Amino acid sequence: MKKRKLGSLEVSEIGLGCMGMTFSYAPFPEKKDSIAVIHAAVEQGVTFFDTAEVYGPYNNEELVGEALAPYLDKVVIATKFGFNIVDGKISGVNSRPDNIRKAVEGSLKRLGVETIDLLYQHRVDPNVPIEDVAGTVKDLIAEGKAKHFGLSEAGANTIRRAHAVQPVAALQSEYSLWTRQHEAEIIPTIEELGIGFVPFSPLGKGYLTGKIDENRKFEPGDIRGVIPRFTEEARVANKALLEVITQFAERKNATPAQIALAWVLAQKPWIVPIPGTTKLHRLKENNRAADIDFTPEELQELTAASEEVNVTGARYTEAQEAATGL
């Protein structure tokens, strides 16, 4: 697989989001099966793996650390801080310097590494100046506990203020053919500053694969069961976007998932999506999206056609936006 740059950090052009192996998308696979997917990703050329302290909490980092232990010289591991975790429950944001340091020490231990390759603030903490957050990460980098600094779901002004204290390598935020709010201000800002972009949920939490219709029943513990964009009515209404993607998939001899990922990849050369999966065949399918090339005319046509569809439903509930690391 080809490589791309997130700031000065070089990674595979498609990464692997590991969250769903233990968090948000129940039921979860057996640990050995998740490890097999991570190993297969390495074999297919993936070098960029995403986890976080709150995924579980904690057990996702343990899983990723165990799975990647034989490959630490070949891979880049990204993890995140920024929440209170009380008795195993997520309890609001917390990016106070002492909590950042506590989180990092735990992450280093669970991942089994001496240095975190890419350390993100998971969500902006309105009670802590971003300069204090960036300064703490700067100190951690100087101490050898982290190599690169990242932000997640941060606004343009926050990104600029953080970057002035400690250069930001990557911004991780949701981006896909049905979630494009960052095109107005965020993407131009990070392009100006030389910051890479890591889209999470580039397949629309699975909807853009075309495998989730209005008859799908979500298991308890699957966040899609309460997300407005995944109500039965929304899934029916949003089929119009799937039809656009499917038409292009047929023309390109590809799957809808591959078209959706290839579209994200085609937007900028410094964009590295991190689709998540727990299935070996989906991993292979996703990674083959890197082989799809659009002509400028095809890309323009797909973008224009998708823009004609009004996507129904908010991407999260207000409570999820406020209280979780999703």
Known active-site residue 55: yes
Q: If we measure between CA atoms, which residue out of 121, 166, 112 comes closest to residue 142? A: 166
* Res 16: pLDDT: 99
CA distances for 166 relative to 139, 143, 206, 264, angstroms: 9, 14, 34, 27
Q: Decide if pLDDT at 325 tops 90.
A: no
Residue 280 has pLDDT above 60, yes or no: yes
* Tens of pLDDT, residues 72-111: 999 999 999 999 999 999 989 999 999 999 999 999 999 9
**What does the alpha-carbon distance between residue 212 and residue 233 come to, in Å, rounded to a whole number?**
13
Which has the closest alpha carbon to 316: 234, 227, 230?
227
> Which stretch of DSSP H or E encloses residue 90?
strand 89-93
pLDDT at position 103: 98
Residue 321's pLDDT is 73
The answer to whether residue 216 scores a pLDDT higher than 70 is yes
- pLDDT value, residue 55: 97
**What pLDDT sits at residue 318?**
85
Residue 166, token pair as written in the block: 């400690």
Average pLDDT value for residue range 263-286:
98
The structure's pTM equals: 0.97
What pLDDT does residue 285 have?
98
Q: What is the DSSP secondary-structure string of 247-316?
A: HHHHHTT--HHHHHHHHHHHH-TTB----B-S-HHHHHHHHGGGG----HHHHHHHHHHHHTS---S-SS
Count of CB atoms situated within 10 Å of the CB of 50 = 25
**Whole-angstrom Cα Rg for the chain:** 19
Q: Is residue 1 predicted with pLDDT exceeding 80?
A: yes
Task: Tally the domains of the chain.
Answer: 1
The answer to whether 179 and 204 have CB atoms below 8 angstroms apart is yes
H or E element in which residue 151 lies: strand 146-152
What average pLDDT does the structure give for the chain? 96
Task: Flag whether pLDDT at 323 surpasses 90.
Answer: no
Q: Which stretch of DSSP H or E encloses residue 237?
A: helix 232-237
Return the structure tokens found at 243: 């039809």
- CATH of residue 115: 3.20.20.100
Q: Is the confidence at residue 275, as pLDDT, over 60? A: yes
Q: Is 217 helix (H, G, I), strand (E, B) or coil?
A: coil
Choose, from 55, 120, 175, 207, the residue flagged as catalytic. Answer: 55
Structural domain of residue 92, as residue ranges?
3-323
Tokens of 73: 């010289």
- As a whole number of Å, the end-to-end CA separation of the chain is 28
| Cα 30 to the center of its chain, rounded Å | 22
319 — pLDDT class (breaks 50, 70, 90):
confident
Tell me the pLDDT tens digit for each residue of 100-146: 999 999 999 999 999 999 999 999 999 999 999 999 999 999 999 99
With a CB cutoff of 8 Å and minimum separation 6, the contacts of 304 are: none
Mean pLDDT of 149-158: 97
